[in-house]
Amino acid sequence: MNIVVLDGYTLNPGDNTWRDLDELGSLTVYDRTKPDELLSRAFDADILLTNKTPIGREQVAHLPKLKFISVLATGYNVVDVVALQGRGIPVSNVPSYGTDSVAQHVLAMLLELCNHVGEHSRSVSAGEWASCPDFCYWKHSSVDLLGLSLGIIGLGRIGLRVAELGLAFGMKLLYAAPTPKKNLALPIVHRPLEQLFAEADIVSLHCTQTAENYQFVNRNLLSLMKPSAFLINTARSTLVNESHLAQALGEKQITGAALDVLSVEPPLADNPLIGAPNCLITPHMAWSSLSARKRLMQITVGNVRAFLAGKPINRVDGA
């Protein structure tokens, strides 16, 4: 079996071996694949692995040997599942590999918004403490998380883990979801979406992307938030209207925001959130701890091994 990885660099930039996958077939790994390179690189592939390289209906039609696709991520919108269903080609993904990594990143960004550790460290390096007449100083007053309300949009695995971490800081927990959940072990309260945005001190997005919630975080919802509130998005960029959020930050409708995802990645220079006041942006890295990437690799190996045994797992193609 010919196994082709179209964009393997972010999974393994040199610290996460392909060895176990290499043992399952004839393996070819490309760091990155441009659209005009896909057909030539994938033409002889029986098994394709992709993370962000799109495989659409047109490409599927020109890959006669293709038998299986495993997406190197949880989200699989880069693959035309319907076109693959038409040819009976199973598609698998990698669920639950980065729950702790993403949840930790959420708290890291929240703590930076509240304590400005990086900014103060840079100011010390620039000599500000050495020239200070007092034994201490602060460029921003810190915000205590104890007693604040953490509102979570989407209470899946990551949302639940973020709630657990918030509880450890003494935060009050709220969540919004289409249907209230039963028998939750955490002291977390369901709120309608608009009420949650109005009540929460921190809103953290953890919902999947659907046609119904495209850019649902817009000026209307943002206008309901407290002036002291923070918004955090480590889920999908298309949940947030970036122009509306930049405007809300510029007009101090909310105090700050932190995002790990943007509408175009790498971002365009004119993205309105780059340079917006009190807006932290990290380069889509919340998923990328070494332990999370190792789990992703091993689950992918399991996906390929299961397909070769005739019993595909983690399927997202409706079978």
pLDDT at 318 (0 to 100)? 82
Mean pLDDT, residues 111-132 taken together: 97
Q: How far is CA 299 from CA 94, 131, 211, 303, 304, in A?
A: 6, 53, 29, 6, 9
Would you mind telling me the total number of residues written for the chain in this entry?
319
Calpha distance 240→214 (Å, rounded): 7
Query: How many CA atoms, within 13 angstroms, populate the side-chain half-sphere of residue 257?
Result: 32
Catalogue the E-assigned strands of the chain. Answer: 2-5, 26-29, 47-50, 68-71, 91-92, 149-153, 172-176, 188-190, 202-205, 230-233, 256-259, 279-281
Which residue ranges form the domains of the chain, and what is each CATH number? 2-97+290-308 (3.40.50.720), 99-281 (3.40.50.720)
Tens-place pLDDT, residues 208-266: 888 899 999 999 999 999 999 999 999 999 999 999 999 999 999 999 999 999 999 99
- Strand 172-176, strand 149-153: pairing: parallel
Mean per-residue pLDDT of the chain: 96
pTM listed for this prediction = 0.92
By annotation, the residues acting in catalysis are 236, 265, 284
Q: How far is CA 96 from the centre of its chain?
A: 12
Calpha distance 69→218 (Å, rounded): 35
Calpha distance 144→231 (Å, rounded): 16
Tens-place pLDDT, residues 273-290: 999 999 999 999 999 999
Tens-place pLDDT, residues 58-78: 999 999 999 999 999 998 989
For the record, the structure tokens of 304 come out as: 């390929």
Tens-place pLDDT, residues 139-183: 999 999 999 999 999 999 999 999 999 999 999 999 999 889 988
pLDDT at 149 (0 to 100)? 98
Confidence of residue 95 (pLDDT cuts 50, 70, 90): very high
The answer to whether residues 317 and 85 touch, using CB atoms and an 8 Å cutoff, is yes
Q: Which amino acid is it at 128?
A: E
Mean pLDDT, residues 7-20 taken together: 98
**What are the residues whose beta carbons fall under 8 Å from the beta carbon of 87, sequence distance 6 or more?**
60, 66
The answer to whether residues 24 and 308 touch, using CB atoms and an 8 Å cutoff, is yes
For the record, the structure tokens of 168 come out as: 């450890």
Calpha distance 158→270 (Å, rounded): 31
For the record, the structure tokens of 268 come out as: 């365009």
Tens-place pLDDT, residues 25-39: 999 999 999 999 999
Long-range contact list for 103-107, CB < 8 A, 24+ apart?
A: 103/158, 103/161, 103/162, 103/164, 103/165, 104/165, 104/289, 105/234, 105/260, 105/282, 105/285, 105/286, 106/162, 106/165, 106/204, 106/232, 106/234, 106/286, 107/162, 107/165, 107/166
Mean pLDDT, residues 182-186 taken together: 91
Rg (CA), the chain: 22
| Backbone torsion region of residue 274, taken as left when φ is above 0, otherwise alpha when ψ lies between -120 and 50, otherwise beta | beta
